[in-house]
Amino acid sequence: MNAAVLNAPHEIAFEPAAVPTLDADQVLVRVSAVGVCGSDVHYYEHGRIGPYVVKDPLVLGHELSGRIEDVGSAINQNRIGSRVAVEPQRACRVCEQCKAGRYNLCPHMEFFATPPINGAFAEFVAIQSDFAHDIPDTVSDEAAALLEPLSVGIWACKRAEVGPGSRVLIAGAGPIGVILAQTAKSFGASEVIVTDIDAARRAFAAEHGASRVLDPTVDAVDGLEVDAFIDATGVASAVRAGIRAVKPAGRVILVGLGTDDVELPVSFIQNREIWLSGVFRYANTWPLAIELVNSGRVDLDVLVTARFALADAERALTIGREAGQLKAIVYPGQ
């Protein structure tokens, strides 16, 4: 098969690679579509994310859909031909975190496109059968691939305890911010406020999930007294401002990746007993993600602004810098 391989920062090569061999519990997926994530771009530009360092050639891409081409010896042959969205991780299933249902925190996790595990910028991938989720024909290949970032949105909204009547503030109107806005709305939030410095992105968010949009360079969010604040920027000033918008006993969820250390208004957090947490991927989110898209409550197709063949994967990793771009999709079969 062919794969797009990161050999060094700013160096992607289109190379032949071996088709994965299957364990008994795995399926072989012919990849249909792969979304480009900010983490893929970060690895491309810097060769690392925190403790995860690219030391050997790495195949990027972890937002994917496809069709089952073959199955391991323990899997029913009837799965062959099924259209699936892939949950791109393999947990050990026996550690303390896995047994508690928090398999996203498994210390032995093998996650696609996280060194040294290869990802989906390739024609085929192997995954445990139960992490290849069947999708209805009403869900496009692109939307099926983007169930992965939607899962991040679902996990964040669950951690924020968003529910009917909640008032939610979201910093950032990029792909994750828009997904968060749609997810919060689908969870029953009565008001979803989105901030972004880019006017075009604010306008897009206003059309796709936000009740109200604000320009953080002009509009202060202090005193909004929201139930939950979710940061999708990783920008320290946005995090601090968002925390000050939360009412007593409210929740703050950090999704965006920024610097490793951020100064926080600790006395404000203490005095209001604000609950603050990060999110690390997701667990048990795909069934709900599929339902939200299939029912029309979340529109992922609208996020796709650029499409590329596998041989043009490097261009897909850089186009996000251009105005008007939200989500690039790579098609390994092209």
Rounded to an integer, the average pLDDT of 106-117 is: 97
Q: Which pLDDT score is estimated for 100?
A: 97
For 158-168, what is each residue's pLDDT tens digit? 999 999 999 99
pLDDT tens for residues 118-141? 999 999 999 999 999 999 999 999
Q: Residues 61-75: pLDDT tens digits?
A: 999 999 999 999 999
Is the pLDDT confidence value at 257 over 90? no
Per-residue pLDDT, 93: 97
Structure confidence at residue 107 as a pLDDT band (50, 70, 90): very high
Per the omega criterion (within 30 degrees of 0), is the bond before 116 cis? yes
Domain 154-278 has CATH 3.40.605.10: no
Give the pLDDT of residue 259. 84
Distance CA 6, CA 71 (A): 28
CB-side exposure of 67: number of CA atoms within 13 Å? 10
SS3 315: helix
- Give the CATH number of domain 2-146+300-331: 3.90.180.10
Q: pLDDT (tens digit, 9 = 90+) per residue, 141-159?
A: 999 999 999 999 999 999 9
- The fraction of the chain above a pLDDT of 90, given in percent, is 96
* Per-residue model confidence as pLDDT tens digits over 220-237: 999 999 999 999 999 999
Binning pLDDT at 50, 70 and 90, where does residue 321 land? confident
Compute the average pLDDT of residues 78-99. 98
**Position 258 pLDDT exceeds 90:** no
> What's the rounded mean pLDDT across residues 14-26?
97
What is the average pLDDT across 41-46? 95
Strand arrangement, sheet containing 212-214 = 212-214, 191-195, 167-171, 226-231, 246-254, 275-278
- Give the helix ranges, DSSP H, for 187-265: 199-207, 236-243
Q: What is the pTM of this model?
A: 0.96
| Arithmetic mean of pLDDT, 96-116 | 97
Token pair for 291: 């339902």
Residues of the chain with CATH 3.40.50.720: 154-278
Pinpoint the residues of the chain covered by CATH 3.90.180.10.
2-146+300-331
